[in-house]
Amino acid sequence: MRHLKDVDAKAGRAAGMIRKEAKIGHVLAFDAPTIRSVAKELRESVDKKGARERLGVGVLVAKELLRTGVIAPLLNGRQWRRVFRVQDLDDLIRKICGDAPLVDGIPEGMMSASKAREHLDMSGGFFLKLILDGRLKTAARLSGAVGVSGVLVRESELRRAFIDLVGVADLPTPLAAVALTTTSLAV
């Protein structure tokens, strides 16, 4: 048995090994397999920057995915201590990308998240959430793109999902931004 000093208390709480009401000063002991398991989880995790790089998204999109619960930290302590399971991130990438074919450029009639941001004032996080919620299907992926950064959808399907969600076909862009940022989607 090893003492708690060998395992971070927050990691123990996050893994459900330590009760929140546990009092300071009590000696806590964990068996060696438990300690190895927690250590393995931490070794095979990435911080926020690593998560953004793996997903191929910027800070704002990552914050939106975190805020909406699309990605969840392994440990949720101070801002700088958040770590994410690589396997969870890879599963998310597979879920969003599916078996979409790779393309070298954006084909006619398709739209990327950045183009949706320009034309519809739609955030990248919201764009990805539409795919995760089944309102959109990934039509293709840009070859050479990292993570979900090269996801492409059919423009007509994106506009239809937008209209179904907002309920108005001819919405001015600033109003569209308000409708999109105030609409909450369940994961």
Mean pLDDT score, 138-166: 89
Domain assignment present for 158: yes
Are 98 and 176 contained in the same domain?
yes
Closest CA to 125 of 181, 163, 74, 48: 181
Q: How many domains are contained in the chain? A: 2
Range of the domain at 100: 93-182
Q: What is the pLDDT of residue 10?
A: 60
Are 178 and 97 contained in the same domain?
yes
Q: Which two tokens stand for residue 148?
A: 């979900």
Full-model pTM: 0.71
Domain assignment present for 167: yes
Give the DSSP per-residue string, 106-146: --TTEEEHHHHHHHH---HHHHHHHHHTTSS---EEETT--
Are 97 and 178 contained in the same domain?
yes
Domain assignment present for 13: yes
Domain assignment present for 73: no
Are 104 and 166 contained in the same domain?
yes
